[in-house]
Structure 1
Amino acid sequence: MASQPRAARSVQKDADNVIVSTQEKVSQAERAYIELKRLILDNELPAGSHLLEAEASERLGMSRTPTREAMLRLQTEGLVEIRSRHGMRVLPLSSRDVREMYEVLTGLESIAAYEVAKRGVSEAEMKSLRAAIDAMDSALAADDLAAWAKADERFHAQLVSLSENQRLIAVVNQFVEQAHRARMLTLKLRPKPLQSNRDHEALIDALVQKDAERARQIHHDHRERAKKTIVELLERLGF
């Protein structure tokens, strides 16, 4: 086979370089977005925090372009406000915001519980759910609330995933991320969440028995109690 002419090889090389450069830029913008969002949701950048573009770039260890793109993306999600020459400001979280988030989560996750119970769970699925509860129990025994929250979120994510309803999963994931911020803010102020673990055990029993209505009610009441606890704490704190 004849080799490509030099000019053609040069054009191809330039095109390849553009593709690689674009991929690196996208990757960096995605990394910047993920890290800034994590800082906000974990309250390492609390409500009212200001971060100049240069400061954010230095903190992330990358250039301003991907940092700016990440900030703009966070603004579209309602997490920050971008002001010209002032960088970004982390927007406050109100008790009303949290109440609305939990109302959505309560409704959709209860539907997921109903659908999963209706079809039943396999032995492997049940063991995975029980493993999350075991991790929650171990975390509480060690007074590690952050580990408890991580295991609890894993349980909820597995339950919703088992519904196999992709649209429901996508919407729930969006609101879980936002609710995580309020949860971490109040985690050490609320009573030890022993009841939450027992709620999950009762839910698994309903799933195994294929009692769809009972599963729906258990999960609905579970989320309602969580909403009440967190909203009342936020109101007491003046959010």
Structure 2
Amino acid sequence: MARASDAAYDAIKSWIQSAQVPPGGLIDEVDAAKRLSMSRTPVREALLRLQSEGFVEIARGRGIRVLPLSAGDMRDIYQVISGMEVVAVSLLARSRPSRQALASLLDATSDMEQALEAGEIDRWGEADERFHRELMRLSGNRKLYAVGCQLRDFAQRAHMVALRLQSDAYRARSTANHTALVDIILAGDSRAAAARHFDQRQRGEEALIGIVEKFNLANL
């Protein structure tokens, strides 16, 4: 039963993150169970878990609603993630990794460059997401990685909406900054790497949250 519950959790969270169920939309437990070809019990367990993580609200008589994120929510989450990533970057640079050890970061930046050239915005966003998760994983701090990924999961839908609203010039600058960060990490300069990433995260926060506020997107 635990495995079925985990599968239901992963599937329903994917529906939320990809906006198959939009912010404020309702999830029907019976329909979800039919769609997943499983009983209602693991689906109910998955929904309770998603409620505890802030993805949905289960209200008696009002159904199961996907909770939206406001621009303020996004800013709060973004700032926490930024703090964790700056620590991750410092730890990673301090370990003086080889180029081979950073292969996953290099692959992500390569995919970002290719997606940029092809004008594939969602593919660029997926590569960007992979880069940031790998930064935390490669830090060697398992708790930082686990909590950081949970926060990124929570904000992923809203983050992708904000990325789609950005210009190609923004994505080009961001790609170049990611590549430059890898070079600084390879040089083993933990202070410079942390400072560079902190500045980049601040600029990204203002660009992404700013565009959400500009378009007056109240709920994401």
Deviation for aligned residue 1:174: 1.3
Q: Aligned residue for 1:230?
A: 208
- Alpha-carbon offset, residue 81 of structure 1: 0.8
Instruction: Check 1:126–1:238 CA distance in 2 against 1; reply closer, same or farther (3 A cut).
Output: closer
Q: Is the 8 A contact 1:133 1:197 kept in 2?
A: yes
State the Cα RMSD in Å: 1.5
TM-score by length of 2: 0.91
Distance of aligned partners of 1:140 and 1:84 in 2 relative to their CA distance in 1, 3 Å threshold: same
Aligned to 1:14: none
**SS in structure 1 at match of 2:97:** coil
* 100-109 or 218-227, which deviates more: 218-227
One of 126, 137, 154 as aligned partner of 1:150: 126
**Residue matched to 1:111:** 87
Quote how far apart the aligned CAs of 1:84 are: 2.5
Partner of 2:162: 186
| Match 1:174 to one of 146, 150, 155 | 150
What letter is aligned with 1:174? Q
Say if 1:222 and 1:83 are closer, same or farther in 2 by CA, change over 3 A. Answer: same
The whole-number CA distance in structure 1 between the counterparts of 2:172 and 2:123 is 14
Q: Give the alignment partner of residue 135 of structure 1, picking from 111, 120, 143.
A: 111
Cα displacement string for residues 113-137 of structure 1 (whole angstroms, at most 9, x for unaligned residues)? 1111122111312333222111111
Q: 1:198 aligns with which of 176, 184, 188?
A: 176
Q: Is the 8 A contact 1:98 1:182 kept in 2?
A: yes
Question: Within 5 A, what are the aligned runs for 1:76-115?
Answer: 76-115=52-91
- How far 1:85 moved relative to its partner? 4.5
TM-score by length of 1: 0.85
- Any stretches of 5+ residues in structure 1 without a counterpart? 1-24
In the alignment, is residue 71 of structure 1 matched against residue 47 of structure 2?
yes
The C-alpha deviation readout for 1:75-105, integer Å capped at 9, x for no partner, is: 1111111123543111111111111111111
The letter of the residue matching 1:165 is N
8 A contact 1:98–1:231 mirrored in 2: yes
Contact 1:43 1:185 in 2 (8 A): no
Q: Structure 1 stretch 209-218 or stretch 220-229: which is displaced more? A: 220-229
Contact 2:21/2:27 (<8 A) preserved:
no
Q: Amino acid of the residue matched to residue 223 of structure 1?
A: R
Cα distance in 2, alignment partners of residues 121 and 82 from structure 1: 46
**Residue aligned with 1:89, SS:** strand
1:210 has 2:188 as partner: yes
Local SS of the residue matching 1:188? helix
**Equivalent in 51, 56, 59 of residue 35 of structure 2:** 59
